Each structure stands twice: as structure tokens, then as C-alpha cells.
């Protein structure tokens, strides 16, 4: 694990138009983390920030980050374990 990367995951979200979510926030988060994994910025075994920490950092609801992490897990890119967080 490279803990320095956990705190500095460079994500940038764009706000959508209310009522017309062309690029929902969970999708933006998922896409950006997926790119970080595929480009090697995040490697196997690296821990992602907790959902609470990342939500606070991005200024979004925790459920938004939970949804993104669930999408990544469904794609087989991450694994989560209660008490030990989410890993690539």
C-alpha cells in the first residue's frame, strides 16, 4: 500500500443541471477512480479513502461515494471488507 496516494486522490467533479443529471456524481467518481487504476496511479492493494473522508473532501453526500464504490466493486476493480476499508 502507498498511503500517500490515499489522501491525495485527485478527483474533480462537475455539477449537473438540476433535474437533468447527464453525468451523475457517482458516475464521475467511478470513472475517475477507474482511470487512476488503469493508469497505475492506484495499484493493487492500495486503500481508497473511507466513504466519509472522500465525501467530506468532495463536498458530496456519503451515499454518493458509497454508490461509486459499489460500482467499482461490481466491476471487480475494488474489494471492501468491514473494518478494513476498500482496496484496489
pLDDT of residue 4: 43
SS3 state of residue 44? coil
pLDDT of residue 6: 57
How far, in Å, CA of 67 to CA of 65, rounded? 5
Q: Which cell goes with 48?
A: 481508497
How far, in Å, CA of 15 to CA of 21, rounded? 9
Tens digits of residue pLDDT in 14-35: 876 666 667 899 999 999 999 9
> For 6, which DSSP code?
H
Could you tell me what percent of the chain has a pLDDT over 90? 69
CB atoms near residue 87 (< 10 Å): 15
Please tell me which residue, 41 or 16, carries the higher pLDDT value: 41
How far, in Å, CA of 85 to CA of 59, rounded? 20
Predicted confidence (pLDDT) at residue 75 exceeds the cutoff of 80 = yes
Domains of the chain: 3-9+23-79 (1.10.10.10)
Amino acid at each position: 500500500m502507498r498511503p500517500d496516494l490515499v489522501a491525495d486522490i485527485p478527483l474533480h467533479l462537475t455539477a449537473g443541471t438540476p433535474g437533468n443529471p447527464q453525468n451523475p456524481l457517482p458516475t464521475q467518481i467511478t470513472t475517475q477512480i477507474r482511470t487512476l487504476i488503469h493508469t497505475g496511479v492506484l495499484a493493487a492493494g492500495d486503500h481508497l479513502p473511507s466513504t466519509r473522508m472522500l465525501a467530506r473532501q468532495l463536498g458530496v453526500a456519503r451515499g454518493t461515494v458509497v454508490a461509486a464504490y459499489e460500482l467499482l466493486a461490481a466491476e471487480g476493480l475494488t474489494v471492501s471488507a468491514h473494518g478494513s476499508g476498500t482496496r484496489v
